[in-house]
């Protein structure tokens, strides 16, 4: 993607630090994301990628620094709930309810949290399932769906609340290799439609083809960032080179 992005950031992290016990896992992170941008976070296990996503989505509060997402100051723990419904999250584990159909899983939050009528929720849910290519599986239960299809239902569930930002944390890591493509294809479609996305992934092909910007994290800091062609073809940081060498060799 080569869109020119000029507008005011929709996500702004300034001097964000976070410790768990005695371990500082984020060390004064500064990061902006523009509306419509696809940002991919890469880095070794434990470098802090999930923690960044969890702070951006209000699941975790920073110890220091400012976190603005969609104009909500998430550094203020009391405001964390104000971001709900404005961001969608997709995790490695799909966590679908086994006793609910695909459509039932997608409409649950619309009916319970949004207090939508069953008919409106159904319409919205079917639209979301259609967007991930699963309109014809609406009445299937998770056990009747492949892993890739289940993850697409989880994406539809996140999309159904019409979030302005989508976060993906290793959304394809639990899938058999032959099922990864159908999920990354859905993610690519969202990117093409202009969704603001922050994506943690080990899929370097996805990062290379779909990211507007790649951020390499190393031990709680942003060690390097840039356009995918720069990071993958001409990385400046020795740690980036070592990391890419390791993952691309696999």
Ligand X SMILES: Nc1ncnc2c1ncn2[C@@H]1O[C@H](COP(=O)(O)OP(=O)(O)OP(=O)(O)O)[C@@H](O)[C@H]1O
Q: Which residues are at the interface with ligand X (CB under 6 A)?
A: 20, 25, 43, 45-51
* Token pair in block for residue 142: 């998770």
Among 33, 34, 39, 50, binds Mg ion (CB under 5 A): 50
CB of 113 to ligand X, least distance (A): 25
CB of 64 to ligand X, least distance (A): 16
CB of 49 to Mg ion, least distance (A): 5
- Output 87 or 160, the one with its CB closest to ligand X: 87
| Candidate ranges 15-23, 46-54, 152-160, 190-198; the one touching Mg ion (CB under 5 A) | 46-54
Cα radius of gyration rounded to whole Å, the chain = 18
Residue 20 interacting entry, from Mg ion, ligand X, none, C-beta within 5 to 8 Å by type: ligand X
Angle at the Cα of 148 from the Cα atoms of 87 and 95, rounded to 5 degrees: 55
Residue 172 makes contact with Mg ion by CB under 5 A: no
Residue 47 interacting entry, from Mg ion, ligand X, none, C-beta within 5 to 8 Å by type: ligand X
State the burial class of residue 8 (Cβ atoms within 10 Å of its Cβ: 0-12, 13-18, 19+): exposed
- Output 80 or 110, the one with its CB closest to ligand X: 80
Angle at the Cα of 151 from the Cα atoms of 156 and 91, rounded to 5 degrees: 95
φ/ψ (deg, to 5) at 136: -80, 0
Provide the strand spans (E) within 85-145: 87-90
CB of 46 to ligand X, least distance (A): 4
- Output 39 or 160, the one with its CB closest to ligand X: 39
How many whole angstroms separate alpha carbon 82 and alpha carbon 28?
Answer: 24
Contact of 225 with 216, CB cutoff 8 Å: yes
Binding site for Mg ion (CB under 5 A): 50
């Amino acid at each position: 993607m080569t869109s020119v992005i000029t507008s005011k950031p929709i996500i702004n992290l300034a001097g964000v630090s976070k410790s768990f016990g005695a371990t500082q896992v984020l060390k004064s992170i500064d990061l902006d994301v523009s509306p419509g941008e696809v940002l991919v976070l890469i880095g070794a296990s434990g470098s802090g990628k999930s923690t960044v996503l969890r702070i951006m989505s209000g699941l975790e509060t920073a110890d220091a620094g400012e976190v603005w997402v969609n104009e909500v100051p998430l550094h203020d723990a009391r405001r964390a709930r104000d971001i709900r419904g404005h961001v969608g999250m997709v995790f490695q584990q799909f966590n679908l309810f086994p006793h609910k159909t695909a459509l039932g899983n997608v409409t649950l939050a619309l009916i319970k949290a949004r207090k939508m009528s069953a008919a409106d929720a159904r319409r919205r849910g079917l639209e979301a399932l259609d967007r991930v290519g699963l309109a014809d599986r609406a009445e299937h239960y998770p056990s009747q769906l492949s892993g890739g299809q289940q993850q697409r239902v989880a994406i539809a569930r996140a999309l159904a609340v019409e979030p302005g930002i989508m976060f993906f944390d290793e959304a394809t890591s639990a899938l058999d290799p032959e099922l990864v493509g159908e999920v990354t294809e859905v993610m690519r479609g969202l990117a093409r439609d202009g969704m603001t996305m922050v994506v943690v992934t080990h899929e370097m092909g996805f990062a290379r083809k779909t990211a507007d910007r790649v951020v390499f994290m190393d031990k709680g800091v942003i060690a390097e960032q840039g356009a995918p062609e720069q990071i993958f073809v001409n990385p400046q940081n020795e740690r980036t080179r070592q990391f890419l060498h390791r993952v691309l060799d696999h």
